[in-house]
Amino acid sequence: MSAIAIIDFGSQFTQLIARQIREMGVYCEIFSDNVNFETISKFNGFILSGGPQSVNADKDGGIAYEIIKLNETANVPILGICYGQQLICHYFGAKVKEDFNQEFGKTKIKILQDSSIIKDVWDVNSEVDVLMSHSDSVDTIPEGFTVIASGVINHTIAIIVNEQRKIYCTQFHPEVKHTINGSKLLSNFLDIVNCERNWTMKSFIDEQKEKIKNLLGNKKVIAAVSGGVDSSVAAALMNKAIGNQLNCIFIDTGLLRKNQRQAIAAMLKDISMNYIDKSDLFLQRLKGVTDPEEKRKIIGNTFIEVFEEEANKIGDVDFLMQGTIYSDVVESGHASGNTSTIKSHHNVGGLPEKMNLKLIEPLRYLFKDEVRKLGKEIGLSDEIIFQHPFPGPGLAVRIIGDITEEKVKILQEVDEIYINTMKNYNLYDKIWQAFAVLLPIKTVGVMGDGRTYGHVCALRAVTSSDGMTADAFPFEDKSQYASVFWDFLQNVNSIIVNNVSGVNRIVYDITSKPPATIEWE
């Protein structure tokens, strides 16, 4: 099967490259820039992503130079994007200037010559909108390369190619929607690689099952199952691969939604599960903690401690399965050594440095929409697959500030009313994720002609496809849902304030991702 290796040098757009390639029916994997060359040497083609660093600070070029050397002997095609273009040019001795013609945002390039990489994408002499995001720029052209396009305003070297070596470089980002027909350029690269477009979710499942069997042999695994989409799909996949070698464990942290344990037991009735109540332990360790990163690390460490205790009880357990997906990896800064850490996910950056159990994460490089497709292919119910995401740390990251048992109970009541009312209005399936947040402030209110001083809750509802970007659920006149949604907001506000003691004000969060993240912490 044809496969593309994407080397991530820290670009926030890297996952978009992978998404588009997979949607074209070609399998790809994302690797950090410190990956061992042997791990990727058998791939059919390589894409070098963008990144924030300067090639002038890189003495040896690392994995990029090893890939270029492979191209020299095996003629394996390479596509360099932004920083990737600069790395390739630097390797061949071309000059890359710092703070030269820096460009951020949409700009125009002019197509100067034709090339296989832009076949049926853009016409010669046409001007095209693309997205640039760079401060360094290529100043001279490596020997054997041809300039295919340049910037209209700054004359940036926008596309260079070496057709004989099958090396293609763009200073702009073809993977983003702001670049017109950029996905067609990526498709052309797949044609140059001679990729067979036969990768499907079914083929991924077959490959993962084989990999899991080969990795584990007869060894036992415990699975951290929360009942959410990711861990449920991961557990179902593992169950199909290794059967009774899998031991699924659900830990009640005391930070779950109201009646979540009972709901999970009903949804996952076909998977054998051991339920453990550790709510007192988690709440005690979180007492007085307000920093969100510290919360996540405490929760991550406590999860591992409990799982290792359970593994010792079972005996001969070597692996811990987690439902980590790619958005968790990106936000935790673990996709590449150069990626900024946005927040540490309890199952990625929140894990302890030393663990007795080895991790197995079968969904690590899948996006949320792909996870749902996988779940559908495996045969899980729509109730599991299309439920809204719920964070591993639970309500700990939806209670801003310190966590108490009283605050947890308040937020559980608010959350239940919010979600159930949403379902009554037939809005639940139109929304990617909805939840309530308990804020660390109180405000004055009036109830029954008396003064109140109660908590403020924020309601959040977003639309998305993969969790990497998101928009607030539409709340404007031009929206087809506007009248229904306004009525919903008014109604849910009334139900919460009248039924949840201690809450007297509701606000609605309209911020997109970016600049915000979906969760508040």
The catalytic residue positions are 82, 173, 175
Phi, psi (rounded to 5 degrees) for 418: -60, -50
End-to-end CA distance of the chain: 41
CA dist., res. 135 & res. 456, Å (int): 43
Strand partners, 85: none
In degrees, to the nearest 5, what angle opens at C-alpha 345 toward C-alphas 133 and 217? 110
User: 233 near 385, Cβ under 8 Å?
Assistant: yes
Strands annotated E in 92-156: 96-97, 103-111, 127-134, 137-138, 146-151
Which contacts of 476-484 are long-range, i.e. CB under 8 A and separated by 24 or more positions? 481/427, 481/430, 484/425, 484/427
Positive or negative, the CA dihedral 427, 265, 363, 353 is positive
Between CA 260 and CA 362 the distance in angstroms is 24
The packing angle between helices 182-193 and 14-23, to 10°, is: 70
Q: How many other CB atoms sit within 10 Å of the CB of residue 407?
A: 19
Phi, psi of 186 (to 5 degrees): -60, -40
Q: Say how far apart CA 244 and CA 197 lie, in whole Å.
A: 35
Short-list 225, 318, 237, CA closest to 276 = 225
Which tokens sit at 418?
Answer: 């919010």
Strand partners, 134: 103
Distance CA 175, CA 478 (A): 30
Residue 250 forms beta bridges with which residues?
A: 275
Confirm if 434 and 461 have CB atoms less than 8 A apart.
yes
When computed from its CA atoms, the radius of gyration of the chain, rounded to whole angstroms, is 25
What is the number of residues in the chain? 521
